[in-house]
Structure formats: structure tokens, C-alpha cells
Amino acid sequence: MNKMAIIGAGSMAEAFISGILDNDLIDRKNIWVTNNSNEERLTSLRERYGVSSTYDLNSLFNGADIVMLAMKPKDVATAIQAIRQYINENMLVVSVLAGVSMDTIETLARIPLAIVRSMPNTSAAVGKSATAVAVNQRVTEEQLEATRNLFSTIGLTTFVEEEQLDAVTGLSGSGPAYIYYLIEAMEKSAVEVGLEKEMASQLIVQTLIGAAEMVKNSSKSSTQLRMDVTSPGGTTEAGMKVLEENGVQQAFISCIKAATAQSKKMGAALRSQLETADQTS
């Protein structure tokens, strides 16, 4: 990777900038970023990371071999229309846009492109994203390796078929929010049973980290690990009975299914809007 042009300067773009620099993947002077009009944000990224920023599209794309689409999904049609004359078939286009298909990007660009579509989550900000990536048939082996290297800077990467990305969105894309919701409940319960909030928060965080590490490193299934903790007549069993009585596991299953369905719905609506907008441009 020689030069990356990032379109959009939000938190996900910053996560990639930080990860790339921490891993010495691309020289900071060869990371170029732009946005629609928020010059203050560009200045902040430039001062914090030493990257380049510009509104001059010739300078932005000159020599770029990777173009990252990191604007808001609703702005993708306008953005691609503005940059389509600067994109060529030799570039790798990397999208972090939820609900925007590779076909839609190619249709808007009006040329065949090597495209990577991804679904990272907000844990990318600390290098711990669980990211799913799909690629089209135009991505070369060299570009595929560049993709692996790029996404490894923000966490774990799994390659999937594009049609699986809605399910990934419902599971790991939205997943951090489910965990934060669980933490909220644990924090509230801790206070109600007489623990200090700060101490309880430390215990909760370490409990979650420890449990995740057990699942990651143990040969046992999550079911078996749960059963190992649940002694007959013990405290864990008492708690688990309440969770089962309240249908908590089924609620989580329904939650992920609903998020997956919403991702499909939003994607279909967005594709329709983008295609209509492109036809009238």
C-alpha cells in the first residue's frame, strides 16, 4: 500500500488512521483524508496524527492505490458522483458503509472496480473490532493481502459472502451495544445490592474480559463453560433460573434477528434511493 485516500473523517476513519500508524502499515504523509465541509475536523486529524488533508481532489487521488469510503451511507451517492472521475480500475475501493452493496458502489461509479465491503464495529477505536469483510471478483491476490493487512490494524477480520453481511451487522456490528446494555444492568444491580459503583464497574469489566478469554482459549463450548460455573443449589443456579424465567436468552436471539432484518430493510431502501438519485444525476 503506497497511498490511501479516505473519504469521510468520522470515528471509523480515525480508528483506521490510528491502527495503520500504530502498525506502520502506511507512512503518515501518504494517508490523505477529506470530508464534505468540516475543515475543523480535518485540522484535528492532521494535528493529532500528522496525516494529510485536502479538498483538492486531484491531490487527494493522485497516486492513491486504496480509496476508503467512510462517509455516512446516506451521502454515498453525492460523494461518489463527486469523485467518480478520479477513481480508476486499478484502485482498491474499501467501503465501511452499512447497507451499501458492492453493486451499488460500482453502479454509482460507472466503471468496474475492485471493491471490499466491510462491517466493522465501534471497538475498532481500541483495535478490537470484530470485522466481517466481503470482496468482489475483481479484487486481486495482492489487493486481498492488502485488505487483510489493513483490517488487521483494527482487530479480528473474518471473510464472508456479501449476503452474510446483514447477519454480521445484527450480530457483531450492533453487538457492542448489546454488551453495554448488559453492563448497564449489572452496574444497576451492583448498586442495589450495596456495592460501590466504581468498584463494581472494575469487577464487571474484568468478569467480561475473563469470560471472553475463557471462550476464546478453552476447548469447551460456551454451554459447557456455563454449566461448569453452575453448581446445583448454588448462587449461579439461582441467578440463571431468573434469567431463564424472564426469557433473557430468547430475547437476545430475537434482538439479533430483529437487527439483521432491519439491516436488510435499510439496505434495500438505501439501494433504491441511491439508484433513483443516480439515474437523475
Evaluate whether residue 272 is within a structural domain.
Answer: no
Do 129 and 254 reside in the same domain of the chain?
no
Q: Is the pLDDT score of 278 beyond 60?
A: no
Q: Is the pLDDT score of 277 beyond 70?
A: no
Distance in angstroms (rounded) separating the CA atoms of residues 173 and 12:
13
- pLDDT given at position 73: 87
Q: Do 34 and 10 contact (CB within 8 A), yes or no?
A: no
Do 109 and 204 reside in the same domain of the chain?
no
Evaluate whether residue 117 is within a structural domain.
Answer: yes
Evaluate whether residue 274 is within a structural domain.
Answer: no
Do 132 and 225 reside in the same domain of the chain?
no
Domain with 240 in it: what CATH number?
1.10.3730.10
Do 48 and 147 reside in the same domain of the chain?
yes
Distance in angstroms (rounded) separating the CA atoms of residues 190 and 127:
29
Evaluate whether residue 267 is within a structural domain.
Answer: no
- Residue ending a domain, among 134, 162, 190, is 162
- pLDDT given at position 249: 96
Distance in angstroms (rounded) separating the CA atoms of residues 1 and 21:
13
Q: Do 33 and 42 contact (CB within 8 A), yes or no?
A: yes
Q: Do 112 and 89 contact (CB within 8 A), yes or no?
A: yes
- Residue ending a domain, among 162, 186, 217, is 162
Do 154 and 229 reside in the same domain of the chain?
no
Do 250 and 180 reside in the same domain of the chain?
yes
pTM, two decimal places: 0.89
Do 129 and 87 reside in the same domain of the chain?
yes
pLDDT digits (tens, 9 = 90+) for 94-151: 999 988 899 999 989 999 999 999 999 999 999 999 999 999 999 999 999 999 999 9
Do 103 and 239 reside in the same domain of the chain?
no
pLDDT digits (tens, 9 = 90+) for 156-168: 999 999 999 999 9
Evaluate whether residue 195 is within a structural domain.
Answer: yes
Evaluate whether residue 253 is within a structural domain.
Answer: yes
Long-range residue pairs from 207-216, CB within 8 A, at least 24 positions apart, any chain: 208/179, 208/183
Do 192 and 229 reside in the same domain of the chain?
yes
pLDDT digits (tens, 9 = 90+) for 177-226: 999 999 999 999 999 999 999 999 999 999 999 999 999 999 999 999 99
Q: Is 63 left (phi over 0), alpha (psi -120 to 50) or beta?
A: left
Domain with 17 in it: what CATH number?
3.40.50.720
The string of DSSP letters for 164-210 reads: GHHHHIIIIISHHHHHHHHHHHHHHHHHHTT--HHHHHHHHHHHHHH
- Residue ending a domain, among 162, 192, 211, is 162
pLDDT digits (tens, 9 = 90+) for 70-103: 999 889 989 999 999 999 999 999 999 988 899 9
Is residue 33 packed enough to be buried (19+ CB in 10 Å), middle (13-18) or exposed (0-12)? buried
Evaluate whether residue 26 is within a structural domain.
Answer: yes
- pLDDT given at position 210: 97
Do 93 and 205 reside in the same domain of the chain?
no
Evaluate whether residue 183 is within a structural domain.
Answer: yes
In the chain, the DSSP E strands lie at 4-7, 31-34, 52-53, 66-69, 92-95, 114-119, 129-135, 155-159
Domain that holds residue 240: 173-259
Instruction: Report the DSSP pairing between strands 4-7 and 31-34.
Output: parallel
Query: Structurally, how many domains does the chain consist of?
Result: 2
Do 146 and 58 reside in the same domain of the chain?
yes
What's the chain's average pLDDT? 93
Do 100 and 188 reside in the same domain of the chain?
no
Distance in angstroms (rounded) separating the CA atoms of residues 281 and 279:
6
Between the CA of residue 57 and those of 32, 33, 91, 279, what are the distances in Å?
10, 10, 15, 24
C-alpha grid cell for residue 207?
468478569
C-alpha grid cell for residue 157?
477480520
